[in-house]
Structure 1
Amino acid sequence: MNILKKLENTEKLTNEEAMSLYNFDLPFLAKFANTIREKKHGKKTYFNINRHINPTNICKDICQFCAYSVSRKNPNPYTMSHEQILDIIEKSAKNNIKEVYIVSAHNPKTGLEWYLGIFKKIKEKFPNIHIKVLTAAEIHFLSQEYNISYEKLIEKIIESGVDSLPGGGAEIFNEQIRKMICGGKVSSDEWIEIHKLWHKSDHKSTASILFGHIETKEHRIEHMIRLRDLQEETNGFNAFIPLLYQRENNYLKVKKLLSEEEFLKTIAIARILLFNIPNIKAYWVTSTMKFALEAQKYGANDLDGMIEKESIQSAAGAKSKNSIHLNSLVDSIKESGFIPVERDSIYNEIKTW
């Protein structure tokens, strides 16, 4: 069986071979996914101590899956001041955060300097905190809104103190599906181009997929293979994050949730296909901590972090509005049979618990 030999040797699969993985049973996929996981990380499960901040919910775009931006589903607009953002970080710094993660809506009223200015202020005041901000969708929005090339904008972003980019905005790369769920937003080719340019600037980023909505298994496979090919070219992704769609308070008519088996199969397939991306993050914010820990048995090796407060996914029904306690996270990882390892944003190990 040709595919079996390829799996045993961790060889690159074709699109057709990758699609056939969904036909195998879960224990079969888990075997090969965990072989890759254990070669890379053993029994370690990573997390970091971070703070999420979502500074504005006023958005130029209307994504059908979004419950966060201002619309008739969410009629309460807000935009934080720089002082409010710095005050949040000041308080979080007392909890020894290593990373501040800032993503939000595409607000045409704030101005490019509002974005660049707050990054500079954070870096000046908290030089040891890693700044992970601006999805490729936000970079595309700023580029279009202020008539500035991706290259020049990335240069300005780096000069303002940004350390790495999150993987948001990827959603699903198939353009027909994108037109239905996030028409007008950054295209898949533009998302790829922005991350390629970011990697060429010698900086790391994460990659993501939004799944469990109206996409098909074929769309997921195509998405992951495009990421695999970009990673082969740039080696700039340090993690892949499968984001499970949240169905409350938005415009997509998705009545049936993804089954636990298909969620875990997708995690395992991601680990098998994306053998060249070192980490697979089971993001507890969208999957719940229970399933994120279960996913560690199917190829995932990371959970994200403390979060402290999260607004985007929780607006759509995720139970992630508030932080998880450090001791609770550590204990849960141990009880699941794994070794808790605190990491920084680029996966340097800080402490083994």
Structure 2
Amino acid sequence: MKNRINFEDALKLYEKDIFELGTLADAKRQELHGKKTYFNINRHINPTNICADVCKFCAYSANRKNPNPYTMSHEEILEIVKEVDSHGAKEIHIVSAHNPNVPIEWYLGIFKKIKDAYPHLHIKALTAAEVDFLSRHHGLTYDEVLDLMVENGVDSMPGGGAEIFDEKVRDFICKGKVTSDQWFEIHRKWHERGKKSNVTMLFGHIESRENRIDHMMRIRDLQDKTGGFNCFIPLVYQTENNYLKIDKPVTANEILKTMAISRLVLDNVPNLKAYWVTSTVNLALVAQEFGANDLDGTIEKESINSAAGAKSANGVQLEDFTALIRNSGFIPVERDSLYNEIKVW
């Protein structure tokens, strides 16, 4: 692609005035999406917090800082799905910890049960980190796990487990978890099955700006080959109740610059999500001026980031969500999980 931003130039973008950078990212956003801001009506379900891994940034898994282990039954999960379906949800987003005490049928069987009972619901489930865990723990290849996902009704994959792709950083914050190469292998294989996925980046902890740009460049490389990423989601690290001991959260200035730079670098990833759960609703709304064209969704309930201090436990009401987007000068557009437009609010 001509005039593509290289690593050095991308890093220099951090030195630009924030408003100048915002203007550049907004121009790209408007070229792609105009004033439309996408969201979906969705529900996050986190069926277990018992985890074989010990990631230093995590406040969700059951450990000394969160001594309340739980594992939900399929019946409990289906009750939640029944309720949220009655509220008009279009997507069920299911991500768990890496529980070594349950059979693989516990992980995969629930998807088939949901799909059989609610065939209209899109199931977004199992991060690459979960796929890697299931592969190792149950003696299956990645291909076998991915095929089982398809057979049981998983429609798309979330982007979790990416964290930061630099292996030195990974060794410190999530040693023993899926490696960056394995993460990309899993998503490449998923894309080769004709399926879509998202990709995240956890930032604002010990990583450098160089690590962030490297992360974006690796995403861009795979996207050139597969075109399978729907959306890039920069996740703001939450400082509470974990073992990284980062005293001060990353500044709003740094968050908005990172959003804008990712919109400019990731020229082949169509959507940029300001995930209000980790950035706060107010900053996510501002991020619409810095390249973001998606705010995720109403969510209803969120457990992982709220355990680390995010104000996201109970989601956002649909009417409030659409009003906030409108009042910030953008057009709220309800989408499905694959970015087909459902309704302009």
Q: TM-score, normalised by structure 1?
A: 0.97
Structure 2 distance, partners of 1:283, 1:162, is 22
Task: Verify: 1:285 aligned to 2:250, yes or no.
Answer: no
CA drift of 1:10 comes to 7.6
Matched, 1:214 2:230: no
Q: Does 1:234 align with 2:226?
A: yes
Contact 1:10 1:272 in 2 (8 A): no
- Which of 325, 330, 347 matches 2:339? 347
Deviation at 1:153, TM superposition (A): 1.1
**Structure 2 CA distance for aligned equivalents of residues 11 and 95 of structure 1:** 46
Distance 1:345 1:153 in 2: 22
User: Structure 1: which amino acid aligns with 2:330?
Assistant: F
Q: How far apart, CA to CA, are the structure 2 residues paired with 1:63 and 1:111?
A: 23
Asked if 2 retains the 8 angstrom alpha-carbon contact of 1:306 and 1:325, the reply is yes
Structure 2 counterpart SS, 1:341: strand
Q: Tell me how far 1:12 sits from its aligned partner.
A: 1.6
Match of 2:248 in 1: 256
What aligned pairs does 1:183-202 form with structure 2 within 5 A after superposition? 183-202=175-194
Which of residues 126, 142, 150 is equivalent to 1:150?
Answer: 142
Match of 2:306 in 1: 314
Aligned equivalents of 2:25, 2:316: Cα separation in 1: 27
Q: TM-score with structure 2 length normalisation? A: 0.99
Range that drifts further, 266-275 or 249-258: 249-258
**Amino acid corresponding to residue 118 of structure 1 in structure 2:** I
Percent identity between matched residues is: 60
Distance 2:313 2:96 in 1: 15
Q: What is the identity, as a one-letter code, of the residue corresponding to 1:295?
A: A
Pick from 205, 218, 222: which aligns with 2:197? 205
Conserved 8 A contact 2:162-2:202:
yes
Cα 1:64–1:302 change in 2 (3 A) is same
| Counterpart contact for 1:208–1:243, Cα < 8 Å | yes
Match of 1:24 in 2: 16
Q: Is the 8 A contact 1:10 1:275 kept in 2?
A: no
Identify the residue that residue 117 of structure 2 maps to in structure 1.
125
Deviation at 1:11, TM superposition (A): 2.9
Picking from 47, 51, 57, the partner of 1:59 is 51
After superposition, what is the alpha-carbon deviation per residue over 1:265-311, rounded to whole angstroms, capped at 9, x for unaligned? 00000000001000000000000000000000000000000111000
Q: Is the 8 A contact 1:59 1:70 kept in 2?
A: yes
Say yes or no: does 1:86 pair with 2:78: yes
Shift of 1:30: 1.3
Partner of 1:45: 37
Give the corresponding residue for 2:89: 97
Letter in 1 for 2:199: A
Quote the offset at 1:14 in angstroms: 1.5
Amino acid at match of 2:318: L
Residue segments in structure 1 that go unaligned for 5+ positions in a row? 1-8
- The aligned counterpart of 2:66 is 74
> Separation in 1 of the partners of 2:315 and 2:169?
33
Query: What is the CA deviation profile of residues 114-168 of structure 1, one whole-angstrom value per residue up to 9, with x for unaligned ones?
Result: 1111010000000000000000000000000011111111111101000000000
2-structure distance, mates of 1:296, 1:345? 19
- 1:260 positional shift: 1.0
Checking the alignment, whether the CA contact within 8 Å between 1:293 and 1:333 is kept in structure 2 is: yes
Q: 1:113 is paired with a residue of what secondary structure?
A: helix
Q: In structure 2, what is the equivalent of residue 34 of structure 1? A: 26
Equivalents in 2 of 1:270, 1:51: separation in Å? 26
2:155 corresponds to which residue?
163
Q: Structure 2: how far apart are the matches of 1:294 and 1:275?
A: 21
SS in 2 for 1:333: helix
**Runs of 4+ displaced beyond 2 Å:** none
Aligned to 1:152, the other structure's residue is in SS state helix
CA distance in 1, matches of 2:245, 2:144: 39
